[in-house]
Structure 1
Amino acid sequence: MPVGIPKVTFQIPENEEWTWVDIYNRLHRERALFLGAKLEWELANTILGLMVYLTIQDKTWEQFLFINCPGGWVVCGVAVFDMIQTVPLCVHTIGIGKAYSMGSLVLSAGDFTERTAFPHGRVLLHQPVSSYLEEDKLSPDSMEVRRLRKLVVKLYKQRTGQVTRVIVKDLERDSFMTPTEAKNHGIVDFVGVNIGWPSPRHRRQRETEERETEEREKWKIPFPFFYGPSVGDPEEFGNPEELGDPKKLGDPEEFDDPKKLGDPEEFGNPEEFGDLKNLVDPEEFDEEFDEEFDDLEEFDEELDKELDKEFDKEFDEEFDEEFDEEFDEEFDEEFDEEFDEEFDEEFDEEFDEEFDEEFE
């Protein structure tokens, strides 16, 4: 029987050959994270690092945190809780097996409508305790424990929507819950195994990115398309001193003085051109347009009639030919059947009579 973490084949994008990687490494690439042990510093830091790295690598891929946790340190659980709230992507929390103590708080930290518990899982709520406190003695840690207890009550109230009195009562003793009870309490949103992974939104985003990548590679368009205000190398335009002295182009004041453009009387008297209103009478223009339009309508009607006649003639000829052929075929079949039946009857009668005569 194999010992250790199972390995599966996977092709790393940078390599051309397939390699063996452990199954958790492969699942992490699919944004599947696991909280499957007591929540301590090492495990908490691993989950925090993975969530940060995967978010930087792809900001469009939702993450899924599978929880099978017996509990752990309060500060570690609060750190994972805060990271789930900080990640800009949607984080799905799925309770499998047991979600005890801080595991239940991490389970409730997922995005609303994205918290799921498997049908046969268990959820446990209880108040935080400190291993540094001794019986019948006060310790400086007691104040810190009280602060942590108030913080846990506040977080449960925020994620479940319950009043403070209900949360405090549930934390006084060990409160075991079934997935249905956890749903009614507000820790999870759904009970079942359909977690929607990968989600339809994620699939659509991945397909869109793949299509854009294919188009960029096809047309070799640089991305991003515009890097800055630079439009080219200024040396390509040449030396500005070789273009000449701009003063030789002329005095700009000469272009501003309209008198230097010429005498306006040389262009002619505008009264000699006549009245512009007499050039075109809009009513006469409308009448002429209407007459031409009517003529076009009459022409269209005549053309339609001629086309209809030709079409009717062709259709009638084709229909008559098809009808005659079908009628001839049906008539021939019926005639052949009747003739065969009559011939067979006459032949049978004659044959029977001759046979009877010979037999007698």
Structure 2
Amino acid sequence: MTAHARSKSDKPSKTSKGPGRSLMERAALRSRSVLLFGPIESALTRDVVRQILILDQMSQSKPITVYVNSPGGLADDGFAIYDVLRFVRAPVTTVVTGLAASAATIVMVGAPQDRRFVLPHSRIMLHQPSTGIRGTASDIAISAKEILRLRHKANELFVRETGKPIDVIERDMHRDFWMSAQEAVDYGLLTKVVDSATDLPS
């Protein structure tokens, strides 16, 4: 996951528009599914949060399923989606479909501990936040302090969501920590490896 203060040169990715996207969105709304595919940045976060809030307004009793296939991205955006998943009243399920790495693991654990699922050939990767720090000595010192605070927040999140002690989480997140689907279940990040949509809770 990346700790990053967006500069003027950062350009949000363009989201496709047109009838094809509209049809897909309507189909997703009908099935109460949200696709989080690709790098986690502001444009994707905006779309995902909007869909989640719309689905929650449509029904607070029917579940929302978030499918995650992402290499990660901005930690702040990952936490933003996590917070919204916890904020809504509708039951939330997350399903990893391929890859959940870095900031995507924050989103992955946005569902309750008994509603996090993973497809058999998926991979999961935890690591500590990173940043490319530039600027004056004062700016670098401020950024270094902020990334330490972000690392602590991420560590505390995974302690809470896995039940593992802080020293284990700090050790494992110090470098890239890769897990298979079953290893992520055994680690406490996910509930179960599933082969079929019928295995998901209603």
TM-score range normalised by the length of the shorter chain = 0.7 to 0.9
- Residue 301 of structure 1 is matched in structure 2 by none
- Residue 185 of structure 1 is matched in structure 2 by 187
Q: Indicate if the aligned counterparts of 2:123 and 2:179 stay in contact, CA closer than 8 A.
A: yes
Q: 1:60 to 1:184 in 2, by over 3 A?
A: same
Q: Indicate if the aligned counterparts of 2:115 and 2:201 stay in contact, CA closer than 8 A.
A: no
- Residue 73 of structure 2 is matched in structure 1 by 72
Q: 1:151 aligns with which of 153, 164, 189?
A: 153
Q: 1:119 to 1:198 in 2, by over 3 A?
A: closer
2: CA distance, partners of 1:130 / 1:21: 36
TM-score by length of 1: 0.48
Amino acid in structure 1 at the alignment position of 2:66: L
Number of aligned residues: 185
- Residue 54 of structure 2 is matched in structure 1 by 53
- Residue 130 of structure 1 is matched in structure 2 by 131
Q: 1:126 to 1:146 in 2, by over 3 A?
A: same
- Residue 108 of structure 1 is matched in structure 2 by 109
1:89 aligns with 2:105: no
Greater RCO (CA < 8 Å, at least 6 residues apart): 2
2: CA distance, partners of 1:187 / 1:5: 35
2: CA distance, partners of 1:198 / 1:100: 22
| Aligned-CA RMSD value | 2.4
Q: Indicate if the aligned counterparts of 1:96 and 1:121 stay in contact, CA closer than 8 A.
A: yes
Q: Aligned with 2:141: secondary structure? A: coil
Amino acid in structure 1 at the alignment position of 2:123: R
2: CA distance, partners of 1:67 / 1:46: 14
Q: CA deviation at 1:93?
A: 0.3
Q: 1:133 to 1:180 in 2, by over 3 A?
A: farther
Please list every run of 5 or more consecutive structure 2 residues that lacks an aligned counterpart in the other structure: 1-15
Q: CA deviation at 1:132?
A: 2.3
- Residue 64 of structure 2 is matched in structure 1 by 63
Amino acid in structure 2 at the alignment position of 1:180: Q
Q: CA deviation at 1:48?
A: 1.1
Q: Aligned with 2:67: secondary structure? A: strand
Amino acid in structure 1 at the alignment position of 2:62: W
1:331-350 equivalences under 5 Å are: none
Amino acid in structure 1 at the alignment position of 2:94: T
Amino acid in structure 1 at the alignment position of 2:142: P
Amino acid in structure 2 at the alignment position of 1:115: R
Q: 1:133 to 1:196 in 2, by over 3 A?
A: farther
Which structure: greater strand fraction?
2
1: CA distance, partners of 2:149 / 2:200: 39
Larger radius of gyration, structure 1 or 2?
1
Q: 1:78 to 1:89 in 2, by over 3 A?
A: same
Q: Aligned with 1:104: secondary structure? A: helix
Q: Aligned with 1:140: secondary structure? A: helix
Q: Aligned with 1:113: secondary structure? A: coil
Identity percentage over the alignment? 24
Q: Aligned with 1:22: secondary structure? A: helix
1:202-281 equivalences under 5 Å are: none
2: CA distance, partners of 1:197 / 1:190: 9
Q: 1:164 aligns with which of 163, 166, 184?
A: 166
2: CA distance, partners of 1:37 / 1:75: 16
Residues 133-181 of structure 1 show CA distances to partners (whole Å, capped at 9, x for unaligned) of 58x9943111111111000001111111111011001111111100111
2: CA distance, partners of 1:197 / 1:41: 32
- Residue 35 of structure 2 is matched in structure 1 by 34
- Residue 297 of structure 1 is matched in structure 2 by none
